[in-house]
Structure 1
Amino acid sequence: MGHESPVPELPITDCAVAQHQGYGESKHISEQFGTLQQRNSVFVLVSCVSTLKALGMIPATLPDVNWIPVDIIADIVVDIIHSPDAESPATFNLVNPKPVPWASLVPTVQSWFGTEKVTVAPLHEWITALRSVDMGDANAVKAAPATKIGDFFEAIARSNAHSPKYTTIMGPAISKTMAEVGPVNPGWMYIWLSQWNF
């Protein structure tokens, strides 16, 4: 209380600024987790597609795709908040209950960039091409940002592109929106590619 300057619309990393009470401190910690998770998730997806331009190829296999567009997530959250059936506290896995194989979306990515510009390669070949990028060349790394997380993609290859399976029972039971959401489809993928200006 009594601070002169307004709270900025920027991530605040200094723990000392949180009010020394349970709510303020826990909110600050939650914001840090959210910021880190957002950066990591976005970077993985965007870096893979951005790197396509540099390598001219995309992996044939990646983990299943289970995201939900943010506007639909917002409707799901509203459903949950307003549901008299939601238990408190409750945890919901807000992932798509109908995951689809990455391979089913590869033709959409090819179509977006032009099929003649995109080679679909086995994951291990794509990783080999990724590892051939000169990490000492700042421009090459900038053009192929997935090089920064090559170990992540190698871990995917070792797991045979298996992704964690999420339990999605409570969400669809409480939220009609989540129960009725469809799988990621070419239309959503085109929107995603367009919004990232690929």
Structure 2
Amino acid sequence: MRVWIPRAKKDNEFLSSDGSSVEQKASTVLLTGSTGNFGSYLLDHLLSQPWVDKVVCLNRSTNAQGRQLEAHKERGLEMVFDRVSFYQADFSDQRLGLSDTDYNRLASTVDLVIHNAWPVDFNRNFRSFKSSVDGVQHFIDFCISNKDRSTKLLFISSIGATSNWGSAAPTSRSKIPEVELTDWKVARTGYGQSKLVAERLLSHAAREVDLPASVVRVGQLGGPVLHGDARGKWTEKEWLPSLIRSSITLRALPENLGPVEDIDWVPVDIAAVALAELAFNLVQTAQNPKTGANFFHLVNPSCTQWTKLVPSMTSMIPTDVRLVGFVEWVTILKESVNTAGGFQGVDEGVNPAAKLIDFFDNLQDRAIRFPKAKSTLLETRETMKVSKTLAELDAVGPEWMALWMRQWRWSVDVDAAR
């Protein structure tokens, strides 16, 4: 695989991996889900790239530009959108909710689609994701609608599409390979199943209609690390921030994470850089669609363990918070819900993990039934050949963990509690 690397901005000039320079027109990129957390960092980084001329943002929101401004302001990102156009979209519609004029114009000008929008809800069944899966087919149709040009498609999938790998391949000790997975049992939840169906639909289109396509399975994204303490933070509604905030309230912090002890997280702003490298590779390289889509894994190649991060957390929370095993911690969380008289009585502001009780209960069950089980990790060998950023990424360390704690501003409350 030949890899292309963007160099310092110079009119239409790029540098190939063999050191030769080539001229290539800058691309128009269509991005979905730009107002979300990852989407915001991705849009910001795309706008800094010399190979990107314009960005077209398709979002479900009626006020996407206003939401984009707020999202970028909160995160300290670029707020000049003179090269960005915003459209309200309906991905379940065959024309993506666009007028015929807009649809045809975009189909004749867009070089790359990055489909990032997807509802993240692990409690929904597969059928409820039908409109999202339909949207993948509609983007395939969009990319091949103009016979005079080649529009490429990069789909943001998820590690959730592989969450049942251990059960589907119980004798396998290897990492999950960077290939299309044909066993439907490798996905557990409705969310993961919908992502897996979308992956296979896209790879089938690559083979059957010569669509140049890539699938990127994204793992756990952490908070930003490139913007300091003042701007941006790990979204507090996610499981890890919820776990830590609830631990302060429960006065108990898990000293291990059971079946998810291995940490291969990627900071969200670094993930945006790596994703842009994968997108650039798709735009600039020739691909043999007959082999299907290219598959990549956006996870940290360098792993660490939760136990190594615990000291940086305990130094920033009240001293009376004790360390407990993960199974015991989930039991304490369940008891807090019962003591509050059920979910209706839980104050999510101080005990947010309560609303994720099913998620933690599932992890507790796995920790009890398979106490020696190891996390199943994703292979990154091929991805690192394309993304220099990922290849050079350090493992999550105490410094990043402490930074995320400061970004949550919880240390202010801790000082008062000491």
Indicate whether 1:50 and 2:257 are aligned: no
| Structure 1 runs not aligned, ≥5 long | 1-5
Report the alpha carbon displacement of residue 78 of structure 1 after superposing the two structures with TM: 3.1
In the alignment, which of 181, 184, 187 is matched to residue 393 of structure 2? Answer: 181
Partner of 2:63: 8
Indicate whether 1:168 and 2:168 are aligned: no
TM-score by length of 2: 0.39
Report the alpha carbon displacement of residue 36 of structure 1 after superposing the two structures with TM: 4.8
Higher helix share: 1
Match of 1:112, SS state, is: coil
Report the alpha carbon displacement of residue 91 of structure 1 after superposing the two structures with TM: 2.5
Asked whether the equivalents of residues 242 and 353 of structure 2 are also in contact (C-alpha less than 8 Å), the reply is yes
Report the alpha carbon displacement of residue 143 of structure 1 after superposing the two structures with TM: 2.0
**Residues 69-78 or 7-16, more deviating:** 7-16
In the alignment, which of 314, 334, 344 is matched to residue 131 of structure 1? Answer: 334
Taking structure 1 as reference, are residues 86 and 164 closer, same or farther at Cα in structure 2, changes over 3 Å only? farther
Partner of 2:117: 31
User: 1:28-86 CA deviation, whole Å, 9 max, x = no partner?
Assistant: x85233x5589x97521221011012101111221122111123222222332334568
Q: Which amino acid in structure 1 is aligned with residue 375 of structure 2?
A: S
Write the distance in 2 (CA, Å) between the matches of 1:188 and 1:103: 14
Partner of 1:3: none
Asked whether the equivalents of residues 89 and 97 of structure 2 are also in contact (C-alpha less than 8 Å), the reply is no
Match of 2:323, SS state, is: strand
Report the alpha carbon displacement of residue 137 of structure 1 after superposing the two structures with TM: 5.6
Higher strand share: 2
Partner of 1:107: 311
Q: Which amino acid in structure 2 is aligned with residue 109 of structure 1?
A: M
Give 1 or 2 for the bigger CA radius of gyration: 2
Match of 1:117, SS state, is: coil
Write the distance in 1 (CA, Å) between the matches of 2:268 and 2:299: 11
**Residues 142-151 or 132-141, more deviating:** 132-141
Q: Which amino acid in structure 1 is aligned with residue 297 of structure 2?
A: N
Write the distance in 2 (CA, Å) between the matches of 1:13 and 1:145: 32
Q: Which amino acid in structure 2 is aligned with residue 55 of structure 1?
A: L
Indicate whether 1:91 and 2:177 are aligned: no
- Segments of 4+ moved more than 4 angstroms: 10-17, 20-24, 35-38, 84-88
Partner of 1:18: 97
Asked whether the equivalents of residues 346 and 354 of structure 2 are also in contact (C-alpha less than 8 Å), the reply is no
Asked whether the equivalents of residues 274 and 390 of structure 2 are also in contact (C-alpha less than 8 Å), the reply is yes
Q: Which amino acid in structure 2 is aligned with residue 146 of structure 1?
A: A
Write the distance in 1 (CA, Å) between the matches of 2:302 and 2:361: 26
Partner of 2:274: 76
**Residues 48-57 or 150-159, more deviating:** 150-159
Taking structure 1 as reference, are residues 46 and 18 closer, same or farther at Cα in structure 2, changes over 3 Å only? farther
Percent identity reads 27
Report the alpha carbon displacement of residue 189 of structure 1 after superposing the two structures with TM: 0.8
Report the alpha carbon displacement of residue 7 of structure 1 after superposing the two structures with TM: 4.3
* Backbone CA RMSD of aligned residues: 3.5
Q: Which amino acid in structure 2 is aligned with residue 180 of structure 1?
A: E
Report the alpha carbon displacement of residue 156 of structure 1 after superposing the two structures with TM: 1.3
Taking structure 1 as reference, are residues 18 and 195 closer, same or farther at Cα in structure 2, changes over 3 Å only? farther
| Structure 2 runs not aligned, ≥5 long | 1-60, 69-87, 108-112, 123-157, 159-190, 192-219, 221-234, 368-372, 411-418
In the alignment, which of 254, 257, 267 is matched to residue 59 of structure 1? Answer: 254
Asked whether the equivalents of residues 61 and 123 of structure 1 are also in contact (C-alpha less than 8 Å), the reply is yes
Q: Which amino acid in structure 2 is aligned with residue 195 of structure 1?
A: Q
Write the distance in 1 (CA, Å) between the matches of 2:294 and 2:390: 16
Q: Which amino acid in structure 1 is aligned with residue 63 of structure 2?
A: P
Write the distance in 2 (CA, Å) between the matches of 1:182 and 1:194: 20
Report the alpha carbon displacement of residue 106 of structure 1 after superposing the two structures with TM: 1.0
Partner of 2:138: none
Indicate whether 1:121 and 2:324 are aligned: yes
Taking structure 1 as reference, are residues 13 and 157 closer, same or farther at Cα in structure 2, changes over 3 Å only? farther
Q: Which amino acid in structure 1 is aligned with residue 308 of structure 2?
A: S
Report the alpha carbon displacement of residue 97 of structure 1 after superposing the two structures with TM: 1.0
- Number of aligned pairs? 188
User: 1:133-178 CA deviation, whole Å, 9 max, x = no partner?
Assistant: 1225635454211112222212212323743311212211111211
**Residues 81-90 or 188-197, more deviating:** 81-90
Write the distance in 2 (CA, Å) between the matches of 1:120 and 1:139: 23
